[in-house]
Amino acid sequence: MAWRSRCDRVRSDESGFTLVELLVAMMVISAVLFSLMAVQTSALVTNAQTRQRTQGTAVANEVMEQIRALPWASLSKGMHSAFASAAGGDPNVTGTQLRPPADASIDEPLVISTDQTTDRAPLSGAGGSNKTVEPDPSIPSVTYTSRVYVTRSAQTAANVLTLTVITSWRANQSATPKHVILRSQAFAPTGGCGDSSNQPYLGACQALLSGDAGATGPTVTVTAAGAGPSGPATTPTTPLIPGTDATVATLSLGNAGVGVTSQQATAVEATAVHGGAQSITADADVEAIATGGGRLTNAASNDFGSAGAAPANPPDVTGVGSATPLDLAGTSTSLRLAPASSTASLKATTTVSCASGIPAGQVCAGSDLTSSGAASVVLTAGGTPFTVANLAGGGSAKTIGARFTSAAGSTAVGCVTLSGPGCLATSVARTVGTTSVGSGSWTGAAAPSGLASVSSYTDATRVERGPSQKTTTAVTSRTGTVSYWNGSGYTSFTLDRLTSTTVVTPAVTATVGGVTVSATATVTVTPAMAIASNPDPVGCSAEGCSITSDTGSVTLTVTYVVTSGGVPSAVTAAASMGSGRASAGFKAAPNA
């Protein structure tokens, strides 16, 4: 019995952990592991947010540097008057005040101008937009939206501009956006070269001359329209035609342009955009459908000391653009937008002539764009095609910009007199093929040639600025013939640069395939305009002397109402003949 008791005691001592002890140990280990996981997850989130803020700050700094690199003549104009609408709204602006929700201490009046150009991104890009969007290179779902503002603050001198960049993004799909706000100041000092009181914004030692010219080609913009009292009301999300997602469709014949900037060095650029077609939907997440629209550029500079500057005499850039038709098929109607092909030739040089009348050695650029073949927008209803708009081929656009320093230009290009730092001139000249709207097999053989048309259209404008051209007026011309259906025949009138009128045609109807189609057109003509800013016409100091001119507009708008099964729908097409615009500015050296 004694031996058996000792054995029992030995077995009891070697029995190991109990189940309760194991469970407690597992719970302690699990708690430690979960704590470590939480710490690791928090660290990963913090690192991601820090990296995103670092990237957002880098984007804001990049945009700020781009703004500060703009010429003073452009920067001092501030925001384009259409900046908010071009950017799809602006949450940081109330009326004409900059009031960002991210910083309630900022409440400053915006600097806004109607003649700010739309090629000065990121301050004033397409349509005047002040917004740029840049995706995160490592996280595709994160994008950085930067908005640029020019304001005047009561805390600074009257000639000082405050520059603001607000970059926002949503971290990890958060509903609350994050922000980075950068602010800087800029001004054009009057103390002359090296005036230490102006550090670090020293006055330029040379005069500043800048300018640009742009030829906007004919375009047709198609949207949904109200179909009268019996039709449904339209909203910005109403489709063009029933059964499609597209809310806006555009047909374009292309654009051409030049830009010149000259101070210590002179740089010129020529651009061209081929014609194309595009449709968009009301859903911002759905990409636009586009065809054509290729872009070409060419640039030259006499800035031989800076890395990355454009070459002195690059080869000409040429290209042919073509685009396939864009088809939108609805339930009872369809729409086809057929672009035209085009040919572009771009010259930029500091050594040879780039256009007739410009001597060799004068820095210049030229952009030529020629349309070949017809472009059209066709609506098919009841199985029958109706030509909403037709734009004949053969149109052309020619833009020229030049800085004259050692040899004067001709009467055709401007700057026939030189003094001091010289002269800068820009010009645009266009021709447009016959354009008509509202064609169809109308009842009673009405409007056999369409409801309205413009033929033999040309326009041109030229501006110049320099010490001898401080108040020189713009040279602008426009010719053409407008014809419109008056109910029994056609009435015509001749265009000139001062023509300003609006004409509405009677309605025409047709019944095809059990569908009733009616149409009416409006002709709208605005006059050419020129705006000169010469606050100091004697010295052209401070903000300098500048001028902007345009050739006016001619727009043929037609509305088709299609009634199928007793339900009406309508589509409106605005066919613009395009326009020419030119600007030039001169600012004397601060110590001049």
Is residue 199 pLDDT above 50, yes or no?
no
66 within some domain:
yes
Q: Which of 154, 187, 220 is the last residue of a domain?
A: 187
Please say whether the beta carbons of 374 and 349 come within 8 A.
no
CB 265 within 8 A of CB 370: no
Question: pLDDT for 101-143, tens place per residue?
Answer: 989 899 999 999 888 888 888 999 988 999 998 887 766 678 8
Give residues with Cβ within 8 angstroms of 199, minimum separation 6: none
Is residue 198 in a domain? no
pLDDT range class, residue 188, cuts 50, 70, 90: low
| Amino acid identity for residue 351 in this structure | T
**Residue 197's pLDDT is what?**
42
Question: In the chain, pLDDT over 90 holds for what percent of residues?
Answer: 57
Q: Residue 65: what pLDDT?
A: 87
String of b and e for 448-476 (b: at least 16 CB within 10 Å)? eebbbbbeebbbbbbbbbbbbbbebebbb
Determine how many CB atoms are found less than 10 A away from the CB of residue 231. 15
- Cβ-proximal residues to 314 (8 Å cutoff; 6+ apart), any chain: 298, 299, 300, 348, 349
* Residue 390 forms part of a structural domain: yes
Which is more confident, 508 or 537? Answer: 508
CB 49, CB 171: distance < 8 Å: yes
Residue 456 belongs to what domain range?
208-587
Cα separation, 251 vs 221, in Å, equals 7
The pLDDT value given to residue 191: 45
With b meaning 16 or more CB within 10 Å and e meaning fewer, what string describes 514-547?
ebbbbbbbbbbbbbbbbebbbeeeeebbebbbbb
pLDDT at 427: 97
pLDDT one-digit tens code per residue, 413-460: 999 999 988 999 999 999 999 999 999 999 999 999 999 999 999 999
pTM of the shown model? 0.66
Two structure tokens written together for 499: 């023509």
Residue 192 confidence class, pLDDT cut points 50, 70, 90? very low
Q: What pLDDT score does 243 carry?
A: 86
pLDDT at position 375: 95
Same domain, 277 and 345: yes
For residue 318, CA distances in Å to 54, 116, 259, 267, 402 come to 41, 29, 18, 20, 20
Domain boundary among 153, 187, 221: 187
Query: By CB neighbour count within 10 A (0-12 exposed, 13-18 middle, 19+ buried), where does 148 fall?
Result: buried
In degrees, rounded to 5, the angle at the alpha carbon of residue 505 between the alpha carbons of residues 503 and 506 is 145
Q: Check whether residue 317 and residue 419 sit in a common domain.
A: yes
> What digits encode the pLDDT tens for the residues 295-350?
999 999 988 766 778 999 999 999 999 889 999 998 889 999 999 999 999 999 99
pLDDT confidence of residue 201: 43
Quick one: 501 and 430 in the same domain? yes
Residue 468 pLDDT exceeds 60 = yes
One domain, residues 216 and 136: no
- How many structural domains is the chain composed of? 2
pLDDT at 591: 54
Over residues 269-278, the mean pLDDT reads 95
Are 73 and 164 contained in the same domain?
A: yes
Is the domain of 175 the same as that of 137? yes
Q: Is the pLDDT reported for residue 198 higher than 50?
A: no
168: pLDDT strictly greater than 80: yes
Please indicate, yes or no, whether residues 429 and 287 belong to a single structural domain of this protein. Answer: yes
Last residue of a domain, one of 156, 187, 218: 187
* Residue whose tokens read 């602010």: 183
| Residue 455 and residue 434 in contact, taking contact as beta carbons nearer than 8 Å | yes
233 has a pLDDT exceeding 90: no
In a domain, 118, yes or no: yes
125 belongs to a structural domain: yes
266/159 same-domain check: no
pLDDT at 4: 47
Q: What is the mean pLDDT of residues 366-387?
A: 94
The mean of the pLDDT values for the chain is 87
- Is the domain of 121 the same as that of 258? no
Any domain includes 500: yes
**pLDDT at 8 exceeding the cut of 60:** no
Q: How are beta strands 112-113 and 79-80 bridged, if at all?
A: parallel
* Residue range 14-61, pLDDT digits in tens: 556 687 777 777 887 877 777 666 555 555 455 566 778 888 888 889
- Tokens (6 digits) for 435: 């354009």
Do residues 265 and 348 share a domain? yes
Domain-located, residue 90: yes
Q: How far apart are CA 517 and CA 510, in angstroms?
A: 5
For residue 195, the model assigns a pLDDT of 45
pLDDT of residue 272: 96
Say how many C-beta atoms besides its own lie within 10 A of residue 119's C-beta.
Answer: 15
Look at residue 23 and tell me if it is in a domain: no
221 in the same domain as 312:
yes
**Within this chain, do residues 437 and 350 fall inside the same structural domain, yes or no?**
yes
pLDDT of the residue at 447: 95
Does residue 358 register a pLDDT over 50? yes
In this predicted structure, which of 175-179, 218-222, 338-342, 404-408 has the lowest mean pLDDT? Answer: 175-179
Degrees (nearest 5) of the Cα angle 49, 52, 57?
Answer: 125
Most trustworthy range by pLDDT among 182-191, 491-500, 532-541: 491-500
Percent of the chain with pLDDT over 70: 87
Beta bridge partners of 364: 349, 402
